A and B are shown apart, each in its own frame.
Chain A
C-alpha cells in the first residue's frame, strides 16, 4: 500500500518534471530556432551562441523527460518470445533484465556526477556565450538517478510477482 503510494507519487513527480522542465526547454528550443532564422534573414543578426544554447536546451529537455519514459514503459523492447511463458517466468526474467539495467543506470549516474564535479573544478564553460557546462552534467546525473529509482519500482513489482505469483496491486 505504502509502496504503491510512493510509486504513484514518484510517477506524478516524473510526469510534472517531464512536462514543466523538459518540454518547456523543448518549446524554448523551437522558439530560439525561429528567432535565430528570422534574425538571420530579416535583421541580418543571428542569435549569438545559437548552437551552444540549442544543445544545452536539448540536454535539459531529454534529461528531464528521460525518467518519465521509463515510468511510462516507452522504450522499445521485444516481448513476443517472453510472452509465451507463464506470468511468473516473465516476472523472473524481467527482474533479472531490469537488475542489469539498474547496474547500467547507477554506473552512468555515478560517472556523470563525477564528470560534473570535474567540470565545475575546471570552471569549464561554453566557448561563445560562456555558460558553465557543469550544471548540465549534473542534470544528466539526476536523470540517471531517477531512471534508477523508476527501475527499482519495477524490480519490486516483478520481484513480488516472481515470489508470490500473480499480479501485485
Chain B
C-alpha cells in the first residue's frame, strides 16, 4: 500500500475513534503511534512518544496557555465579567434587544480575559439569562446572542486559536493578537446590527428595558474598570512591545490577583477553584497538542502533507480564491472538531501552500480562525451549543441552534470582509511598535 493510502486510512481511523467518544488527544495520538509502528517499526514510534510530550511541555511559548487560562479563571471567580455586564447593561439596555447587545459587549470584554469561548458562554448564560427572561426576551435571541458572543473570545486577545496558530507556524503571537482586534470589533457591530434588526421586525424577541437615568448609569460604570484595566495591560503591553505574550500573561495574572485582593473579590475557596479549573483546561489543551503532534509526525512520514499540499496548491493561482477555498474547508472542519484540533491538524498542510502563494501568514491566521468559529456554533459538533444546553436544560437544543443562525450569517459576512480586505487584519500588526 502507498504511504498516502496509509495516511488516508489513518486519518479515517482517527475520525472514527473520535466519533466513538475516544478523547481527541488519545484518538489521534494512538493512530499516530500505530501508524509510525507500521511505517518505521516499534522503536522509532516509541522514541516519538518519549520525546514529543517533553518537547511540547518544555516549549517556553506554550507557557502563555496555562497563564492566560489562570488569568481568565481568576477574573471569572472575582466576578469581574458580572460587574462589566451590569455596567454595560445600563448603557445599552434601553434599546431594542439592548440586553442581548450588552451580552455581546460583555463577551468581547470577558473574551479579552479568557481566550476561551466555552467559559465565556457558560459565564454569560448563568449571568444574563435570568434577567433577559425577566424582561420578556425570547430564549432564542438570548441564547443565540450568548453563544455567538462567546466566539469573540477567539478574536479578541488573548485568543487560544491565535496562540496555537502562532506557535505552529512560528508567526508572532503578539501580531496575531493585534490582527484579531479590528475583525473582533466589526463582528460586535454586525451582531448589534442583526440584534437591532431582529427586534425591529419582531419586537417581542427583545423588548427594551426601562431606561436608566444618568446617575444610575454612572453608578454601574465603576464596576467595569477592573476588566478594562486587565484588557489595557494585555493589549497595550503587547502593542507597545513592552511584553512578549507569555510575559503579558504572567503579569496579567498578577494584576487580576491584586485587583481581586484589593477589592476583596476573591477568597481561598474561589482561588482554589480557579487553580483547579486552570489545571484541567490547560491539560486538556496540552494533551490535544501532544496527541496531534504524534499524528502529524505519522502523516509527515507518509509524505501525505506534501501530496495534499500540492493538490490544494494546484487548485488555483489566485490567493483570494485560495483563501475562500480554505475558509470553506475550515467551516466544514469546524462543524466536526474543536478549533485547537483543526488548527493543529491542518496547518502543516495548508500553511506552506499559503506562504508559497504569497498570502500574509497573519491574514491567513485571522481568516482561518474566523472560519473555524462557525463550526463551534453549528451541528453536529457545535461545542458551544452543547456546553450551553448542559447549563440550560429547560431549552431544547434546536431552539439554541435556531437562535445562532442569524449570527452565523454575520460571521459569514465577516469572513468575506476579512478575505477581501486584508487590511482589516494587517493594519494594526503593521503599525504596532516593537515589530
Residue A93 CB within 8 A of the other chain: yes
Residue B400 CB within 8 A of the other chain: no
Q: Are A79 and B21 in contact (CB under 8 A)?
A: yes
Output the nearest chain A residue to B59 by Cβ-Cβ distance: A55
Q: Are A23 and B338 in contact (CB under 8 A)?
A: no
**Alpha-carbon separation in the docked complex, A56 to B57 (Å):** 8
Q: Which of B60, B282, B386 contacts A55 (CB 8 A)?
A: B60
**Alpha-carbon separation in the docked complex, A47 to B199 (Å):** 56
Secondary structure at the A interface, as helix, strand, loop or mixed, is helix
- Bitwise interface map of A from 65 to 98 toward B, beta carbon under 8 Å scored 1, else 0: 1101100101111111110000000100110111
**A126 → B minimal CB distance (Å):** 10
Residue A32 CB within 8 A of the other chain: yes
- Chain A residues whose C-beta falls within 8 Å of the C-beta of B210 in the assembled complex: none
- Chain B residues whose C-beta falls within 8 Å of the C-beta of A29 in the assembled complex: 63, 66-67, 250
Residue A37 CB within 8 A of the other chain: yes
**Alpha-carbon separation in the docked complex, A69 to B283 (Å):** 7
Q: Report if A104-B30 is in contact (Cβ < 8 Å); known contacts: A30-B254, A69-B284.
A: yes
Interface size range on B against A: 35 or more
Residue A33 CB within 8 A of the other chain: yes
Q: Are B47 and A111 in contact (CB under 8 A)?
A: yes
- Chain A residues whose C-beta falls within 8 Å of the C-beta of B247 in the assembled complex: 33, 36-37
- Bitwise interface map of A from 51 to 63 toward B, beta carbon under 8 Å scored 1, else 0: 1001110110111
- Chain A residues whose C-beta falls within 8 Å of the C-beta of B219 in the assembled complex: none
Output the nearest chain A residue to B46 by Cβ-Cβ distance: A111
Q: Are A66 and B283 in contact (CB under 8 A)?
A: yes
Q: Are A23 and B276 in contact (CB under 8 A)?
A: yes
**Alpha-carbon separation in the docked complex, A51 to B400 (Å):** 45
Binds A, one of B12-20, B95-103, B318-326: B12-20
Residue B249 CB within 8 A of the other chain: yes
Residue A19 CB within 8 A of the other chain: yes
Q: Are A100 and B66 in contact (CB under 8 A)?
A: no
Q: Are B24 and A65 in contact (CB under 8 A)?
A: no
Q: Are B278 and A23 in contact (CB under 8 A)?
A: yes
Q: Are A65 and B282 in contact (CB under 8 A)?
A: yes
Task: Give the interface centre of A32, A51, A69, A144 by most chain B CB atoms within 10 Å.
Answer: A69
**Alpha-carbon separation in the docked complex, A54 to B250 (Å):** 11
**Alpha-carbon separation in the docked complex, A27 to B70 (Å):** 9
Residues of chain B whose beta carbon lies under 8 Å from any beta carbon of chain A: 17-27, 29-30, 33, 45-47, 49-51, 53-54, 57-60, 62-63, 66-67, 70, 242-243, 246-247, 249-251, 253-254, 272, 275-276, 278-284, 286-288, 336, 338, 341, 380-381, 383, 386
Residue pairs across A and B with Cβ atoms less than 8 A apart, 15 shown, are A19-B275, A26-B67, A29-B67, A34-B253, A68-B283, A69-B279, A69-B280, A75-B23, A75-B287, A76-B24, A76-B341, A77-B18, A82-B21, A101-B22, A136-B58
